[in-house]
Amino acid sequence: MTKICVKNCNFTIIFSLFLLILPIMSHPQTKKCSVLDAGPVTSTISLISFLEQVQETALNTFGPNNFDPKLYIDFSLKSNLSITQQAFAKLSRAQNGAVSADELRKFIQDYFNGAGDDLIYVKPADFVAEPNGFLPKVKNSEVRAWALQVHALWKNLSREASPDVKKHPELHTLLPIPEPCVIPGSRFREVYYWDSYWVIRGLLASHMHKTATAIVTNLIYFVEKYGYVLNGARAYYTNRSQPPLLSSMIHEIYQRTGDKNLIKKALPALLKEHEFWNSGIHKVTIHDSKGGSHNLSRYYAMWNKPRPESSTTDKETASTLSDAADKQKLYREVASTAESGWDFSTRWMRNSSDLTTLTTTTILPVDLNAYVLKMELDIAYFAKVAGENNIAAQFLKASQSREKAFNSIFWNEKMSQWLDCWITCKDDQTWEASHQNQHLFASNFVPLWIKPFDSEKVMKSLASSGLVRPYGIATSLTNSGQQWDYPNGWAPMQHIIIEALAKSGSKEAYLMAEDIAIRWIRTNYASYKTTGEMHEKYNVDKCGDIGGGGEYIAQTGFGWTNGVVLALLEEFGWPQDRKLDC
């Protein structure tokens, strides 16, 4: 057993390096904590490795301007891989690996289908232009007209896998899913895990229960096949998950439909997903100063290579590192940060200006453990509905244990927030939980979404934190150039915090929630009015300003942004006399 010493967190951690690895993640473990990249790596398909070569050749040929590496990894083959590889090998190359632009374009046209061509537009079966009872609290005609336009975007974002994906899976990186889905939009051409929660919230506001249930069916399929919900429906995403919100999706659907069959179908998958996040590489056991034992979860991707969808980008990031082992470790951290959904942010970095200092696998995240707590509460509830009283009792007990950890491990009384705790490796036999991360992040307030806890204290802390900006909640207060930092605001964080305040039971907190919702809706509308698009993220300091930073240009569509706007309008409405413009 490897002991973790403590300086400031006031607890002792025993972190076993003989982790119980799930069968799908079998890998020999190391006794030395300094060898941080000792975890499992999932196998991948030959097509992905080949497409990474095409991706790199395209970068060398076309240059970095407007280059999106994901485009090339999403191609599907027109003929078998061997034939395509032979044709690729015959391309004449310059010394840097580039080929002539015309020759490469012709090769791509001759041998590949376009990215996204293996997904088919499909009109949702339950879509109507104006659903009965749509947003009854919205009295303003301008807002209602805009909301109906946002509602109509569900048609544009609805897809299903083409029959060829099931017939010839070896030609595709897209995974065959059993039901239609709703995609985020733009470069995100496939269904994604945590995006789907807010897509579903919007679909429920649009009275599209069948479409919402179909999305959940796809995610359950992933659990049944892989043991966990994948980051997204691509073969290159099988090495990691995303924030675990499947139980929350099911809970929301059940509250609207009362569909007990969905509960019974989902329960085995949720038990399997809970095991994934609470065993092996994701599990950390902590013993506090009073002798209490807490099992907590962390992000840890099953990968230590460049992410295929960002292979050229990751290689460039790692180019400053000379040691191969250091590069592998960085690639593990990069993929684990992608698993967190916050890719990328100074939240995960030792040095806020250096992405190579990512250390996500040695951080105990507040939000992840809040989502797992929510999963435990949901499973206890679902088990009771399904008549599985023993399971209900087991998970109620598990939730109570994790709730204690929030008070013991994450809570910071002085700040009245829950803080991530960073764990660092001191030497070959000792870990050290050096400190809680006292920087301000929107994630510090996520536990309030799960349970009220001390909502008055937390509300006042949020109000004075500086995170509440003129047009929403900033992800952080550090302007690093990373997309999950200031001045960007993201729809899921707005919704989590707004809903947490609204349901806390305090009138003052509800009014604060409504105020933040109004700010966020106004900037969404201002941007839509100017661009005709809903965007992935926004600058919360400037009304209507699109968010920036990160690895790719701003994306439109956009699944979770649409869902949050509709969910907020459903909750708070919009009076006839309330101004919509900034």
Question: Catalytic residue among 343, 376, 388, 499, which?
Answer: 343
Question: Does 110 qualify as catalytic in the annotation?
Answer: no
Pairing of strands 472-473, 468-469: antiparallel
Q: Which amino acid is at 372?
A: V
Count CB-CB contacts under 10 A for residue 470.
12
Three-state DSSP at 316 gives helix
- Give Cβ neighbours of residue 280 (< 8 Å, ≥ 6 apart): 19, 20, 21, 22, 25
Residue type at 539 in one-letter notation:
N
Which residues neighbour 6 within 8 Å (Cβ) at sequence distance 6 or greater?
12, 13, 432, 433
Is-cis flag, bond preceding 487, omega within 30? yes
Q: Which residue has the tokens 């301000």?
A: 440
**In the 3-class helix/strand/coil scheme, how is 530-578 assigned residue by residue?**
HHCCCECEEECCCCCCECCCCCCCCCECCHHHHHHHHHHHHHHCECCCC
Beta carbons of 526 and 544 less than 8 angstroms apart: yes
CA-to-CA distance for 143 and 140, rounded, in angstroms?
Answer: 5
Give the span between the Cα atoms of 497 and 502, in whole angstroms.
Answer: 9
Distance, CA of 20 to CA of 113 (rounded, Å): 42
Listing DSSP states for 416-459 in one string gives: TEE--EEEEEEETTEEEEEEE--S-BGGGGTHHHH--SSHHHHH
SS3 at position 26: coil
Identify the active-site residue in 309, 388, 536, 570: 536
Q: What are phi and psi of 93, to 5 degrees?
A: -125, 145
Do strands 293-297 and 537-539 pair parallel, antiparallel, or not at all (unpaired)?
unpaired
- Please report where in the chains the tokens 């968010």 appear, as a residue: 547
Is 536 one of the annotated active-site residues of the chain? yes
In which element (H, E) is residue 399 found?
helix 389-405
CB 298 within 8 Å of CB 284:
yes
The three-state DSSP-derived secondary structure of 447-473 is HHHHCCCCHHHHHHHHHHHCCEECCEE
DSSP 3-state assignment of 133? coil
State how far the Cα of 403 lies from the Cα of 503, in Å rounded to an integer: 19
In degrees rounded to 5, what are phi and psi of residue 309? Answer: -70, -15
Question: What is the C-alpha to C-alpha distance for residues 151 and 211, in angstroms, rounded to an integer?
Answer: 13
Question: Known catalytic residues?
Answer: 343, 536
